[in-house]
Amino acid sequence: MDVAVVVVKVGSSSLSNPSGGLDRDKLQHIVDELAGLYRDGVSLLLVSSGAVAAGFNKLGFRRRPRSIAARQAAAAVGQGILIEEYTHRLQQHGITAAQILLNRSDFSDRTRYVNAFNTLMLLLRKRILPIINENDTVSVDELTFGDNDRLSALVAGMVKADLLILLSDVDGLYDANPHEVREAKLISDVPHITPEIERMAGDAGSPFGTGGMRSKVEAAKIATASGVPVFLGRADRPGIVRDAYHGRARGTYFSASGEPLPNRKQWLRFMTQEAGKLGVDDGAAKALLSQGKSLLASGIRTVSGEFAAGEVVLITYRGEPIGKGITRYSSQQLEQLKGKRSEEIEAQLNMPAEPVIHRDQLVLLVEKESVQRS
């Protein structure tokens, strides 16, 4: 697309009243913020929590429920309420909204991923604003630890957004928990997400959201590795969306990676689930990390789990994950082939030996420099 694309994520804490229910004034503020940037010609996608907040009162609960079943029921009721509120208020600005509910499998399955991408891009070309949420009613993981931060990062990478805006109830990333340390300082720019930055994230969570600062930094890590810069700031600040887009908002800006992952490797790294593990030796680790080579059977020491050819497996070295890739052999075959040289495999199979994971089907999970130093 020739026009700028921005993904905005708003969490439950930014849409809730003190009792945990949906605050319609806060929702109106978000809509007005989106409309301002939409009028500037920017294409927008909104990843919004709030279904549970919108629905639990309708089920007779006096406060936000804790059990998975109750929250799923509240989400089932609340999702319709939430999208109706958004749709009605966006229409007052002349904006048409579309509801998109996604599961992790919509990202991990390549065909469904491509279908979701095509749908979102068509909506954007038609100047329709997709409102995206995790499918809370059936997504146990999301309700257990909160995943809309991660979801927004995956969506931003999918559509190659120009910016991901994470709106929360804090100004950004601090060098200490601002709720506990009065002298905590706001970090305005993060050129690179280091282990120190990740440690700073701590647990600066809020009572009504299911994620905290750590999940937002993890989301920023995913988005920036995919070439998408990220802004994190307070949802209730007037003009926050436009100011964030123009680089003048109070908050934290995370710079995009200078070498973003290609689309397929982005999908492989962040969106797939591993079916098993392959432990590799020193030579294989060096070939993968320093030389960009494919993984051969000769470098495999251990095979864990049961998987078929064509499934994604985790590559480990000295017990630590270093990569992921699509294997050409099943776990059963690899138990017979591990540690063997190509000529041995050719004699055993009576056919040319193929790499277990070709480098085009492999993505690293660590930085080369950090492994080489260790």
Judge whether 350 is annotated as a binding position.
no
Residues in the chain, total: 374
Judge whether 215 is annotated as a binding position.
yes
Judge whether 216 is annotated as a binding position.
yes
Whether the CB-CB separation of 317 and 283 falls below 8 Å is answered with no
Judge whether 211 is annotated as a binding position.
yes
C-alpha to C-alpha distance for 183 and 205, rounded to whole angstroms: 18
Judge whether 136 is annotated as a binding position.
yes
Encoded amino acid at 341, one letter: R
Judge whether 210 is annotated as a binding position.
yes
Judge whether 277 is annotated as a binding position.
no
Judge whether 48 is annotated as a binding position.
no
Contacts of 60 (CB under 8 A, 6+ apart): none
Nearest CA to 149 out of 205, 69, 81 is that of 205
C-alpha to C-alpha distance for 121 and 101, rounded to whole angstroms: 16
Torsion angle, CA of 79/80/86/87, rounded to 10 degrees?
150
Whether the CB-CB separation of 221 and 193 falls below 8 Å is answered with yes
Two tokens, residue 277: 């593990």
Judge whether 157 is annotated as a binding position.
no
End-to-end CA distance of the chain: 42
Whether the CB-CB separation of 225 and 269 falls below 8 Å is answered with yes
Judge whether 370 is annotated as a binding position.
no
Per-residue CA distances from 77 to 53, 58, 310 (Å)? 10, 7, 39
Strand pairing partners for 167? Answer: 10, 233
Judge whether 13 is annotated as a binding position.
no
Residues comprising the binding site for ATP?
9, 168-169, 210-216
Residues comprising the binding site?
9, 49, 136, 148, 168-169, 210-216
Residues comprising the binding site for substrate?
49, 136, 148
